[in-house]
Structure 1
């Protein structure tokens, strides 16, 4: 795996479907939300790239035993008329780790562990007031837990 520090410069906007469940059951809820997002993509105006989707998480995951949210989205520019039943999210410019993960989707958690270790070794800590996000494109292969699956994982960070 490769981890690097990236700085976003602009506010980015996303429109999509919210999945809510207990963390232990979140996968099924996320699958349903992505199916609905794909089915309803024609309702979303100004999608920047139809081949790229995002999974966005609020900073409430660590140790949370209650319900958590996950947003399955497309990036849009500009935002205009959010479809009924969908949500919109704005991500502000900030510093992120960018982890390039290659491996089965079921093992994506190992990328977060790797990122945490990298951060500890390089003087960073999580900036837990900001959203995390994953970028999925034509190299992302969720089906059959494919070893060639590629995901880009962005974690908000700050220097210690």
Structure 2
């Protein structure tokens, strides 16, 4: 796996469908959200790239035993009317670690473990005031557990404070 650090410079806008569930059923809820956002994509105005979707998560996953949210979205520019039953999100400029993962979707957790270790070893920590997101494109294989699957993972980070 490869990791790099980037600084975004603009506000990004997204429109999509929210999945809300306990972790034990989140996979099913996420799949339903994916199918709904793709099925209803013609209702979303100004999609930047119809071949690219995003899975966006608030920073409430770690140690959360309650309801979790996951947003399946398209990036839009500019933001226009949001279709009924959909949500819009804005991601502010910030620093991210970017992990390029290639492997079976069922092993995606290894990419997060690798990222966490890399962040700790390189003087960073998670900046848990912002959204995490994954980028899916034509190289992402959602329906099968293929080792050729590719996903790009963006984690908000900051330099570790030694106070």
Q: Which range, TM-score by smaller chain?
A: over 0.9
Deviation, structure 1 residue 63: 0.2
* 2:133 equivalent to 1:133: yes
Q: Separation in 2 of the partners of 1:63 and 1:76?
A: 32
Cα separation, 1, equivalents of 2:138 and 2:86? 24
Alpha-carbon contact 1:104-1:142 (below 8 Å) kept: no
Q: Match for residue 112 of structure 2? A: 112
Counterpart residue number, 1:72: 72
Secondary structure of residue in 1 paired with 2:34: helix
Question: Which structure 1 residue ranges, 5 or more long, are not aligned?
Answer: none
User: Retained in 2: the 8 A contact 1:16–1:71?
Assistant: yes
Provide the rounded CA distance (Å) in 1 between the counterparts of 2:75 and 2:149: 21
Q: SS at the partner of 1:35? A: helix
Distance 1:24 1:2 in 2: 30
In 1, Cα distance between the equivalents of 2:106 and 2:78? 34
Secondary structure of the structure 2 residue equivalent to 1:100: strand
Deviation at residue 155 of structure 1 after TM alignment:
0.1
> For the residues of structure 2 that align with 1:50 and 1:83, how far apart are their CA atoms?
16
Q: Which runs of 5+ in 2 are unaligned?
A: none
Between Structure 1 and Structure 2, how many residues are aligned? 160
CA deviations 1:61-83 (Å, max 9, x no partner) are: 00000000000000000001000
1:87-110 per-position Cα deviation (integer Å, ceiling 9, x unaligned): 000000000000000001111111
Normalised by the length of structure 2, the TM-score is: 0.97
Tell me the SS of whatever aligns to 1:55: strand
Find the aligned partners of 1:76 and 1:123 in 2 and give their Cα distance.
34
Q: CA RMSD in A?
A: 0.5
SS in 1 for 2:5: strand
